[in-house]
Structure 1
Amino acid sequence: MLPDNAQKLPKSVKIVWLIHTSIAFVLILAVGLVINSFFLNHWQNILATIIQVIFVLVLLCLLAYALLIPYYYRFHQYVINPHSVSIYKGFFWRQSQTIPLNRIQNVDTVQGPILNIFKLQKLSIVTAANAFTINAIDEKTALQLRDQLIQAARQAREVDTDD
């Protein structure tokens, strides 16, 4: 499914994903502990047990996701062709998205605080119907891709309107 010329994301994206997962883990654990202490002090019933089981399951899912980050990284790639951009992602349910260059309306880069620390940016490609993202690529490549895609989209539109 993945073409040979597909570009991989920088390896530092694995650390970014791990940081995001760790933050979510800590926040959910804190909320779970607060809710658990409320239920243990006020209610002793099946509802408290169900909520505890749900929080444990969510935490286990986050832990499993963190352990699968290296595997997930292998399948998150992109390809820029003369006529389209293809984005491949997913590890259990693999997904490929192809965006024709003549349909691109806008290309944005986004950089949050964690991405900034690792000098990465998220590239967002917007069409009339959808927005597609390449999760994290280094700043220099993101700016080059943004300019390349904008120029290619302009040229594709000019070719389409010359007919």
Structure 2
Amino acid sequence: MENNQERIIKQAHFADNLSRYWLTPLTIILILSIVGIPLLLLWLPLGSYFIQRYINNMSTELTSKKLVVRKGIFTRTENTVPLDKITDMALIQGPLMRFFKLHKLTIETAGQSGNGALLSLTGIVDVEEFRSLVLEQKEKLNQAKPSNNQDENNDASVISILQQISATLERIEANTNHNKND
């Protein structure tokens, strides 16, 4: 789905140990609960299979104008985020993530509804480089936009017209009040 104006700048890759990271929390809970230990016999093979399928279906690409994220097993989702709408890209690394040497990249946009990040990507290889590329491309897009002088001139003319309308309405109101008093 690439057109002549958009080129793929970077295709993100995900860390090999991402599936182990996602398996670990429930594995720890099952071990600590003691009664969950027999469930480990189901969780480890099934969890590994579905998590790996999920990771294989994940893709993230940076184009010259947008960030495209695809993921899901049963319900596939594709999020397309225009670069000029991105307001924040945070890197998060909790204790378990530090152990696995992973980061979570969260992406927030202007106008998004709800709390939290619009997108959350865990386990991108060289996440700092990927984040820098996204921010660099966003900056290039902002610099390439036409100047706002024409917008400022349009704003000034709109304000002038609104002031004229306001003055006309005040004159009409004054005439109406004057005629009522006569």
- What TM-score do the two structures reach when normalised by structure 1? 0.67
Work out which structure has the larger RCO, using CA pairs closer than 8 Å and 6 or more positions apart in sequence. Answer: 1
- 2:118 corresponds in structure 1 to 131
Q: Which residue of 2 aligns with 1:18?
A: 23
**CA distance in 2 between partners of 1:117 and 1:67 (Å):** 22
- How far does residue 13 in structure 1 lie from its aligned partner after superposition? 0.4
Query: Is contact 1:8-1:76 (8 Å) kept?
Result: no
**Alignment length (residue pairs):** 133
Which protein shows a greater Rg? 2
Give secondary structure in 1 for the equivalent of 2:138: helix
2:131 corresponds to which residue?
146
Correspondence for 2:85: 103
The one-letter code of the counterpart of 2:23 is: L
Structure 1 residues 161 and 115 mapped into 2: Cα distance closer, same or farther (>3 Å)? farther
Post-superposition offset of 1:87: 0.8
Which runs of at least 4 in structure 1 moved beyond 3 Å after TM superposition?
4-8, 23-27, 59-67
Q: Which letter maps to 2:143?
A: E
Supply the distance in 2 between the matched residues of 1:89 and 1:102 (Cα, whole angstroms).
Answer: 23
Residue identity over aligned pairs, in percent, reads 23
Match for 1:20: what amino acid? Answer: P
Q: Per the alignment, do residues 86 and 60 of structure 1 end up closer, same or farther by CA in structure 2, a change over 3 Å counting?
A: farther
Contact 1:106–1:126 under 8 Å retained in 2 = yes
- When normalised by structure 2's length, the TM-score is 0.61
Shift of 1:26: 4.8
Is 1:9 aligned to 2:11, yes or no?
no
Q: Cα distance 1:60–1:76, how it changes in 2: closer, same or farther (>3 A)?
A: farther
Contact 1:85-1:98 at 8 Å conserved across structures: yes
Aligned-partner Cα distance in 1 for 2:27–2:64:
39
For residues 150 and 122 of structure 1, the distance between their equivalents in structure 2, rounded to whole angstroms, comes to: 16
